[in-house]
Amino acid sequence: MLDVEFGVSKGAYYRQLAQSRSKIESLYYTIILLQAYSVILSDSDVISRLAEQLSVMKDGGFAPENESQIIDVIQKAVKQLVNI
């Protein structure tokens, strides 16, 4: 079906889909960092909260043992945003 409709193989389609999701994931990380450094204003509540966490990390206002947990939460949230 994909070969006829789009002129590409299923493998190429899914490879492109994975690449697109990866690019979107990178975009979300960029937005989070830009908001954390006050380069752009926040539009999304989720992204805003993630940017706040990064801002706290940047300013050193967190316990070092919590760093991996904060990064893990950010990674999971970005993965969920990508899969919406």
- For the segment 64-83, the average pLDDT, to the nearest whole number, is 81
pLDDT attached to residue 83? 73
How many other C-beta atoms lie within 10 A of the C-beta of residue 50? Answer: 26
**pLDDT tens profile 7-38:** 889 999 999 999 999 999 998 899 888 878 87
Q: What is the DSSP secondary structure assignment for residue 46, as one 8-state letter?
A: H
Q: Which amino acid is at 38?
A: S
The 3-state DSSP class for residue 34 equals helix
Residue 63, phi-psi category: left (phi > 0), alpha (psi -120 to 50), beta (remainder) = beta
Tokens of 72: 């893990």
Asked whether residue 41 carries a pLDDT value surpassing 70, the answer given is no
Percentage of the chain lying above the pLDDT 90 cut = 21
- For the full predicted model, state whether its pTM sits above 0.85: no
Mean pLDDT of the chain: 80
Tokens describing residue 25: 């994931």
The amino acid present at 54, given as its one-letter code, is: L
